[in-house]
Amino acid sequence: MTHHHATPRFRRRTGALLTAGLLLAAAGCGSAATTTGSDGAGASDTNGRGGTLVIGATGKLPNPDTVIGGAGFEGKRLVSFQLYEGLTRYDLSRTDAPPEITGALAESWKVAADARTWTFTLRKGVTFQDGTPFDADSVVFNLDRYLDKHNPQYTDALGAAAQEYAGDIAKYRKVDADHVELVTTAPNGHFPEDLAHVLIASPTAVRKYGTADFGQHPVGTGPFAFSSQTAGQEIDLVAYKGYWRGAPKLDRLVIKSLPDVAARTAALRSGGVNWIEYPNPDDIDSLKADGVQLVTNSYDHLWYWILDTSKAPWNDPRVRQAANFAIDRKAIAGKLLHGTADPAFQTAPRATFAFDPAGDVYSYDPAKARQLLAEAGKASGFSTTVTVPTGGSGNLLPVPISEAIQHDLAAVGIKVQIRTTDWSTLISAEAKGQVALGSDAIAQSTTLFQSEALLPLFIGSKSPFWTGHYTNARVDTLLASASASTDQAERRADYRQALDLVTKDAPWLFVVNDRNPRALSPKVRGLVQPQSWFLDLTTVWIRK
């Protein structure tokens, strides 16, 4: 039986805008200059096992029903990807390059000459955490739940969330017990990456509890099984001994929501947690003095301002370029953020395949900034406004960073009024194509390539997000060509060329790339910190 589901490619993405908006600062990671090596905490200490890892997260925890989530990449990193898997997964075992996609519940796949028909060979011998065997029927069951509005387990919430990554699936069918065929609406070269986010739940558990209650009893094939939760605040997981890649070294994994950074730090120091996401950069020296491990690595992250390119004077590329030359990124990264970020001199984050080693453009050059402003008829400067979130996952220290930019821009005659709002208000407005508080710019952070399917939302001319009204037909063409290509080298070359054009057009103020810092008790061993928003926690254990 073939199941049909067709939604035009761009329109289907709009159904998950709020989710995509959360990905703008999705993970709540921050980073620092690596203090224990970019390969993580005690990564060479691989012989032990056991213990309970307790992580203090920066935001609320997700709904643990597969794709619903709701806590951005941090929730997916710490909860969803621990409970579930897709047909594919990120290989998070390397520290020296961005992660590639590899097999998970599918061990291999091939695409037909039409670049739309994909056949996946499923992994044998995999069982869900409740003992249910995984097979082709499991895949079809989950896709029905996400995409078939007439399915008894379908809900609007599931359907909207699934559109993010499964919305390109036009039809799907079981070939036999070990193979499924998925057909996309159009050629989609990043489809294997998309499927890492299309999480597969136990059909037995979904039928038993129903979609309404499955989130209270989640069951997947991931390395950790559900034990208990306080919704949004704490979740307790246990190692799944039958995990197909081998049981995790930990006995238990506990995730706690601790959005206040001072509370996270206090919990780490008191022993209430033994790992925190994004420590306050100002606390790093004292934490290190206490014996805490600080681990970092570059990853796909950009903290930036989006400028309204439809309004004078930001409609003049010379003015936008001038503002970029006015920013002292090294001071922001080194002094304000204490090495927890790297200066961003171009669009592509340095830990992505689109980064151009020869593409750094915007060095700190106030004289060049003044020259460009004079050429644009703004030698005497001008006034502008920016809306800045007071916090939020992945946003680092948004107000202090913006105040540093405000100071630098004032030195070349650009007077900035900072207007602050909460993160959810800013993102909700952006998803409607608006700017909270009606400013000329907004400050935020984003991932560009960890979720390749979302890139047109950030720099595409027809994005339903507020993107500063930026438009470049050549960028659109390159994005479309890259997205459709199943040739990885061609796709990456097109992306690099597109982002080089964005760098030159300067619709954004490029500021810093976060380095994903986390602070760990000295008892936490075996972490490998990849160049990713995500983590493989199967290698971690707690020293007695």
C-alpha distances out from residue 451 to 164, 165, 197, 352, 457, Å: 10, 9, 9, 11, 11
Q: Is 357 exposed, middle or buried (0-12, 13-18, 19+ CB in 10 A)?
A: exposed
pLDDT at 446: 86
pLDDT at 72: 80
The one-letter amino acid code at 246 reads: G
pLDDT at 14: 37
pLDDT at 5: 58
Tens-place pLDDT, residues 246-284? 999 999 999 999 988 899 999 999 999 999 999 999 999
CA-based torsion, 404, 406, 407, 412: positive or negative? positive
Given a contact cutoff of 8 angstroms between Cβ atoms, the answer to whether 404 and 331 are in contact is yes
The list of the chain residues with pLDDT below 50 reads 6-39
Strand segments, DSSP code E, in 95-246 are: 101-103, 106-111, 117-122, 169-176, 179-184, 224-230, 234-239
pLDDT at 427: 86
Tokens of 128: 């869900």
State yes or no: cis peptide before 389, omega within 30 of 0: no
C-alpha distances out from residue 502 to 54, 138, 476, 478, Å: 41, 42, 11, 12
Cα-only R_g, the chain: 23
Tens-place pLDDT, residues 135-151? 999 999 999 999 999 99
- Alpha-carbon distance 271 to 47, whole Å? 24
pLDDT at 10: 41
In 215-278, where does DSSP find H-type helix?
A: 261-270
> If we measure between CA atoms, which residue out of 105, 325, 58 comes closest to residue 202?
105
- Alpha-carbon distance 154 to 70, whole Å? 18
- Contact residues for 367 (Cβ-Cβ < 8 A; gap 6+): none
